[in-house]
Amino acid sequence: MHLRRSRGGLVAVATAAALTLAACGSDEGADTAAAEGESAADDGAEEESADDAGEEDAAADEAAAGTVEVTDFQGTVEVPVPAERVMVTDNRVVRALDEWGVDIVAAPLDVFPSDLSYASDDAVMNLGNHGEPDLEAVVAADPDLVFNGYRFQDYYGDIQELAPEAAIVDTTTDYENAPLDEELIRQITLVGDALDRPDDAAALVEEFESSIAAATEAYDGESTVMGLLTSGGDISYVAPVTGRSIGPVFEVLGLNPALELAADDTSHGDDISVEAIADANPDWIVVMDRDAAIAAEGDEYSSAEELITGSEALQNVTAVQEGNIVYLPADFYLTEDIQAYTELFTSMADAMGSAR
């Protein structure tokens, strides 16, 4: 409060000059003290206002840092938003996180594409591979959000025990009971929702759906197609619908199989002779070169192109003669995500469109 001193007593003794001068000095001191008091009060009010503003900012930050509920194969999961320590084990979603600039604390880098920014980030703990994972690193990483699936699907329970406070989102896909396109869209939408990035996920979905539409339009609906996988110098057969990676594409695009055999090995393809491929005489061949993704730098191996176009037995096959061979992206075996399939469908659309 601003204080004012009364001057009544000073007027009554105005005849004493000394007292008058003393009174003037006293009055000036009072005004100074009052001014100082007012200034101190104002400073206090400003500090109090700053404190209030800080509390309001903190409250706003606390309100912004909430949770979101997502639904995966395990049920409903309450996820912190924004998550501060993200761990990812599913190679089919990690590229999206990398593209979106999401920091992670741990991942099985041994089975992830080598061109990820995480591969050269010392802050990311390496969980190794799904064959011999370093699960102790999960404890050290102390994640608050985990995207777990695919090759690490069987470790869900272990991760749950090692990181009991973390929200674990199961990113597993089920191509046996749902079409590939539906599952990839569900998967990336789930990840986008958990990271509060629905628009980023929607953008990937839009590109994916556009590539499917383009490939469907380019395909004539009649030409026969065969899926193949090459590895270790061998050519394997990929069964329509159920075969590894390429199989589900038949259902999505409505492709006409050149050969219809049930899959015995849905992961690595089935044995087939080049003579059997020649007898089927596919108009188109879609092939995944497994070694292109896993061969160490400097290693020599026989590429899919060498094995197929260099085979004497396949020289009269329509797909070989007309150059109707679509190769999956070189790193497809380590990605198999919505971006990889978008690239594959785009390549098929370009190749089939040019051939018509």
Average pLDDT over residues 86-112: 97
% of the chain exceeding 70 in pLDDT: 80
pTM of the model: 0.81
Long-range (24+ apart) CB contacts under 8 A made by 303-309 are 303/230, 304/228, 304/230, 307/230, 307/233, 307/234, 307/235, 308/228, 308/230, 308/235
User: Over 70: is that where the pLDDT of 101 sits?
Assistant: yes
Q: What is the pLDDT of residue 262?
A: 81
pLDDT in tens, 132-151: 999 999 999 999 999 999 99
**pLDDT over threshold 60, residue 331:** yes
Q: What is the pLDDT of residue 267?
A: 67
Please give the average per-residue pLDDT across 9-28, as a whole number. 38
Residue 43 has a pLDDT of 52
Model pLDDT, residue 356: 78
Residue 297, pLDDT score: 59
Predicted confidence (pLDDT) at residue 352 exceeds the cutoff of 80: yes
The 10s digit of each residue's pLDDT in 35-89 is: 454 544 455 545 555 455 555 544 344 444 699 999 999 999 999 999 999 999 9
Q: What percent of the chain has pLDDT over 90?
A: 74
Instruction: Give the pLDDT band (50/70/90) at residue 208.
Output: very high
Mean confidence (pLDDT) of the chain: 85
pLDDT value at residue 51: 54
Q: Which residue has the higher pLDDT, 175 or 35?
A: 175
Summarised one tens digit per residue, pLDDT across range 306-319 is: 999 999 999 999 99
Asked if the model's pLDDT at residue 111 lies above 60, the reply is yes
pLDDT above 80 (res 115): yes
In the predicted structure, residue 99 carries a pLDDT above the cut 70: yes
Mean pLDDT, residues 193-222 taken together: 98
pLDDT at residue 14 greater than cutoff 70: no
